[in-house]
Amino acid sequence: MVIILKTFFIFKLNKEYSSIAIKTPYNIYLLLFSIYKQNKKNLYKAYNLFDEICLSINRDFFNYYIYNTLNILEGYTKYRYIHMYNDYFTGEVSKITINNSHIKLKSNKDENVFIEKIKDIKDLFICDFDNNYYIFTSKKRMKTR
């Protein structure tokens, strides 16, 4: 059996770009996609643009939050800043890695356990660049700082 994994990138937007994303999230998606597709010649410009749009990820907060909300589930494992979920009954296979600049999620499901849990966190922009899929979590209450 072959499992096809989708890759999601999760970014924390700053206040100015969060207000833009509320009105036109597709424009933010296009900015992040252009940064994602940059070649090595324009890497410095892409890094500066990324630094202007996104905040750094509070790794300890996300690590603690994900662990506390999912550690009761059977099939959940954690090693440092990597969380994995393998559900035998639904067939979901997901792995989330928390980095300083972004969070990377690989899953065989669009609606997976990690996305459902982090939707409660404000100003996150979740992208699947390969499938032109994005979500902005603007109307939630929880803050990371």
Which tokens sit at 85? 């979920």
Question: Quick one: which of 126, 112, 95 has its CA closest to 11?
Answer: 126
pLDDT digit string, tens, across residues 19-73: 999 999 999 999 999 999 998 888 899 999 999 999 999 999 999 999 999 999 9
What is the maximum alpha-carbon separation in the chain? Answer: 46
Question: CB–CB of 129/109 below 8 Å?
Answer: no
pLDDT digit string, tens, across residues 89-125: 999 999 999 999 999 999 999 889 999 999 889 999 9
Q: How confident is the model at residue 140 (pLDDT cuts 50, 70, 90)?
A: very low
Q: How confident is the model at residue 4 (pLDDT cuts 50, 70, 90)?
A: confident
The ranges assigned to domains in the chain are: 6-137
pLDDT digit string, tens, across residues 126-137: 999 999 999 999
CATH of domain 6-137: 3.30.310.250
Which tokens sit at 19? 């207000």
Q: How confident is the model at residue 1 (pLDDT cuts 50, 70, 90)?
A: low
